[in-house]
Amino acid sequence: MLARFLKKDDRSARGKDVLTVSFVVIVYDMPLQAENTVRSLLPGYQLGVSGDEYEVIVVENASANTMRPEFLQGLPTSVRYFLRENPESSPARAINFGAEQARGENICVIIDGARMLTPGVVRTILMGHRLSSSAVVAIPGYHLGRELQQEAVNSGYSLEQERTLLSSIAWPEAGYRLFDIACFSGSSAPGLFMPNSESNCISIPREIWQGLGGYDERFNLRGGGLINLDLYKRVCEYPGVQHIIALGEGTFHQFHGGVTTGGQSREKREAYIEQSKAQYRELRGEEFVSPRNQPMYLGKIPEQAQKFVHYSAARVLRARGEAPLTHGPA
């Protein structure tokens, strides 16, 4: 549980510099990927926003491979960085620590600091929170590369190949072209219109975050096990929540040594997944099932994302036994 919370209406305690959203980014042993993620959160890359509406809180769990001081020193004052010595194997406490530092009325968690964002993420999250005080805004997840990285690595996918892919789309100048070199992540594999199991960028009103108690620190496996799925399910099923999905935006996982995507053998990866499921059953008393609430879809759909929208709609139609339209409806 979080040690301390400031209530949403307690503005005097937080001072006059109350922001709409605080992004909390968790980093461990991925400095180059984290730099890309932070760059993709800055005004200039993020379209239609200023640095006055949000902040970025980077919480890095110490390793032998931390972010470069020269990069951190060049960041604007809207980015705050915390290095945690002697971290736990699970990211739970780091996330909750970051949330405690937040000045925003909404807390947006990016549990994996290797997730680059498209240029309309911040704008769409701000829009969602303006629509409803109970809005929980989720960004769909993708992997860089033509197949899931835990599979692609067996065919030689590497950091070098990923750098070549990013160079081919002139990133960061053309942020929406991330869709051109990506596939759905495993949690988003059902598509945009069927239940997903998690979001790696989810923005939650402070009052709801407080009601949830943040991330459950009993999920203590390396990488957290199903901790992010657990938070996603609990927040989507929280009474009165308006679940919003940013249809035309995404987070894009960069290759690094993650517990399920970093090139471990299939046997080790499957053993970890089974261990994670067992811990979830122990803590929650049931198997994990993706939330079934009906979300609202929000935001612009850039042309690069349209193929994923089309694929998602076709999946829904096939599940209903209907064929996709080949012409306009009668």
Q: Which two tokens stand for residue 194?
A: 């069927």
Higher pLDDT pick, 222 / 150: 222
Q: Does residue 141 belong to any structural domain of this protein? A: yes
The mean per-residue pLDDT over the stretch 10-29 comes to 75
**Non-local CB neighbours of 252 within 8 Å, separated by 6+ positions:** 115, 116, 117, 118, 142, 143, 144, 178, 182
Report the helix count and the strand count for the chain, using DSSP H and E.
Answer: 11, 12
Q: Are strands 182-184 and 141-144 parallel, antiparallel or unpaired?
A: antiparallel
Only one residue has tokens 């059902």, namely 190
pLDDT at 14 over 60: no
- The CA-based diameter of the chain, rounded to the nearest angstrom, is 64
pLDDT at 3 over 50: no
| Of 90-104, 125-139, 250-264, 302-316, the least confident | 250-264
Q: What is the CATH number of the domain that holds 41?
A: 3.90.550.10
pLDDT tens digits along 162-221: 999 999 999 999 999 999 999 999 889 999 999 999 999 999 999 999 999 999 999 999
pLDDT at 54 over 50: yes
Q: Does residue 3 belong to any structural domain of this protein? A: no
Q: Does residue 6 belong to any structural domain of this protein? A: no
Angle (nearest 5°) at CA 148 between 176 and 26: 70
Which pTM does this prediction carry?
Answer: 0.90
Give residue 244's pLDDT: 98
pLDDT at 227 over 80: yes
Whether the CA torsion 215, 137, 203, 270 is positive or negative: it is positive
Q: Does residue 226 belong to any structural domain of this protein? A: yes
Please give the tally of structural domains in the chain.
1
238, 134 Cβ separation under 8 angstroms: no
Q: Which domain holds residue 178?
A: 16-319
Q: Does residue 326 belong to any structural domain of this protein? A: no
Residues 276, 227: Cα–Cα separation, whole Å: 9
Sheet holding 202-205, edge to edge: 79-84, 54-61, 19-27, 104-110, 202-205, 135-138, 242-246, 296-298
Bridge partner residues of 65 (DSSP):
none
Q: Does residue 34 belong to any structural domain of this protein? A: yes
Q: Does residue 94 belong to any structural domain of this protein? A: yes
Q: Does residue 328 belong to any structural domain of this protein? A: no
Give residue 147's pLDDT: 79
Q: Whats the size of the chain, residue-wise?
A: 330
pLDDT tens digits along 236-282: 999 999 999 999 999 999 988 655 555 567 788 899 999 999 999 99
